[in-house]
Amino acid sequence: MGESNGTWGSLVEHDEDAAATWDTYAPLPDPGENPVLDAFCRRKRLTIPALVRVGAKLADDHVLAFGYDRAIKYRDMNDGRRWSRIGSTFPTLKLVRAGLDPTPRVVVCEGETDGARLTAAYDCDVAILPAGARAITSAYVDQLRPYLDVLVGLDDDEAGHAGRDKLLSALPQAREFRPEGGDDWCGTEDDGLPTLPTDVPENDGLPTLVVPAGEMLVMEVPEISSWFEHDILPVGGSLVVHGWVKSFKSFLTFDMLSSLAQGVPWCEFAPTEEPCRTLVVQYEVPWQYYRDRVATLRENAKHPELFDEHFFTYSPLVRPQLVAGNTQQEDAFLREIEGAGIQVVLFDPLRRMAGHADLNAENEIRKLLGFFERINNLGITVVYTHHDSKDSARSRGGDALGMTGSGAIAGDPDSIVSIALPPGDTWGESTRRNLHFTLRNSPAIGSRSMAIHESGYLTYSTEAYGDFSTDSDDQDLPPI
């Protein structure tokens, strides 16, 4: 069937440099031409055509490269090391077709070599999890949903069992399908490969992805759609808080997560759910000062015991070693937060986790937003902070168009909180700020305000400071 990554042309669309790199790699040679490849195939019970089917090339004489629509993965055939090209993302499963059309049945596995073994052993489609068994997203589940029979053949280890349970609970047509006498498919002798089940569930005639209104309207929906009233913070969605330097963005968002951890109101918005587990990933405040802020939050907590239990921090002693676009770091982070049961995560600020990415370039900012989407696919809400431009600051801020960088930063989130300086106040001296809200999922709501006290404690009001019926003259504003 040729290379399974027929969608690799998408690599050009998403990353021209990666596509150019992919074009430099050599096709797999015939048996006998590369001793390292031949030995690897013998150890893994593979054939070269099977590796070609899962989209393999040679990066050099001892490194395999596997193409995806937005990624390139590598495997050293000598020492077994595996890594991905910087900037790789995996929004979809790799589906390897057994023929021109999808088969009624699919076998799900971990990794390209297991996938290659399965394509040679069975006459059905094979789905390869590109980022491990713990990183199963709702998008992956949706890809598998049209199959009548989903055979789950993940590794016989803790991660594989967790992934298996997730698929079995998400797909009623899923069932376990494991090799006998081996931890994975490549570790199993030919006589240990199980035979395919003879029964395939019958199609009920209704497409699972194309649903008429009559069916859709009787489907169950989550009881809770937002953590606060007015759909301010959608469950599994995203929110950005932006403002100029000294806008108190960190204070504001830390306070939001503290309120969520306790299940109490924030900014005069009532909570809609019980206390949840929150996580702060902050890149700017040194450890000793961050600890002071957390201590202030606890001192003013209505329910200190809930705060202690539900307010988490990622790598508090040193700046987090997490940069969006680094797939290995992203995968490790996703495993950590899913294992800890985190429900809302804050990144403060956006530019620090961008690494060397150009925030003005749409294709580079997509690495950040793609990472947030991976988190959302786990049902986890994302909050992040971002900075305004100097021009916006001169106009006192408060406008979502005043954010620095690509327009996607303002276009992607469900909710935007814009921090503004009240009329007559100055950035360096004022302890008051107005808050404006732009909401995708709710009608417009009025502006609110906050004040920060000497101790770092925040208070809020449903009324904004000053009169917004007249525009300020930028020339009268103090310098920034």
- Residue 253: beta bridge partners? none
Q: What is the DSSP string of 32-45?
A: TS-HHHHHHHHHHT
Residues 295 and 364: beta-carbon distance below 8 Å: no
Residues 286-322 as b/e (b if ≥16 CB within 10 A, e otherwise) read eeeebeebbebbeebbeeeebbeebbbbbeeeeebeb
Q: At what angle do helices 327-340 and 362-376 cross, to 10 degrees?
A: 30
The predicted pLDDT at position 2 comes to 37
Dihedral in degrees, nearest 10, Cα atoms 283, 289, 295, 299 = -110
The predicted pLDDT at position 475 comes to 35
Q: What is the DSSP string of 376-396?
A: HTTT-EEEEEEEBPHHHHHTT
The model's pLDDT over 317-327, given as tens digits with 9 standing for 90+, comes to 888 888 877 87
Q: Where are the domains of the chain?
A: 1-89, 101-187, 229-476
Distance (Å, whole) CA 108 – CA 337: 24
User: Is 456 buried (19+), middle (13-18) or exposed (0-12) by CB count in 10 A?
Assistant: middle
The predicted pLDDT at position 202 comes to 59
Segments in the chain below pLDDT 50:
1-8, 205-206, 468-480
- Residue 459: beta bridge partners? 451
Question: Quick check: bond before 179 cis, omega within 30?
Answer: no
- Residue 149: beta bridge partners? 105
Residues 273 and 286: beta-carbon distance below 8 Å: no
Domain pair 101-187 / 229-476, same fold: no
Q: What is the DSSP string of 208-266?
A: SSS--HHHHTTS---S--BSBGGGSSBTT-EEEEEESTTS-HHHHHHHHHHHHHHT--B
Residue closest to 435 by CA, chosen among 424, 445, 443: 445
* Helix-then-strand count for the chain, H and E: 15, 18
Can you give the pTM of this predicted structure? 0.57
Provide the H-helix boundaries in 107-196.
112-121, 138-144, 158-170
Residue closest to 9 by CA, chosen among 57, 89, 69: 69
Distance (Å, whole) CA 120 – CA 164: 23
In this structure, CATH architecture of domain 101-187 = 3-Layer(aba) Sandwich (3.40)
For 357, the token pair is 């990415």
CATH of domain 229-476: 3.40.50.300
The predicted pLDDT at position 454 comes to 85
The SS3 assignment for 314 reads coil
| Matching residue, tokens 């370039």 | 361
The predicted pLDDT at position 416 comes to 95
The predicted pLDDT at position 240 comes to 95
Distance (Å, whole) CA 48 – CA 29: 8
Distance (Å, whole) CA 5 – CA 74: 15
Residues 153 and 184: beta-carbon distance below 8 Å: no
Q: What are phi and psi of 248, to 5 degrees?
A: 70, 35
The model's pLDDT over 74-85, given as tens digits with 9 standing for 90+, comes to 999 999 999 988
- Residue 125: beta bridge partners? 106
- Specify the amino acid at residue 164: R
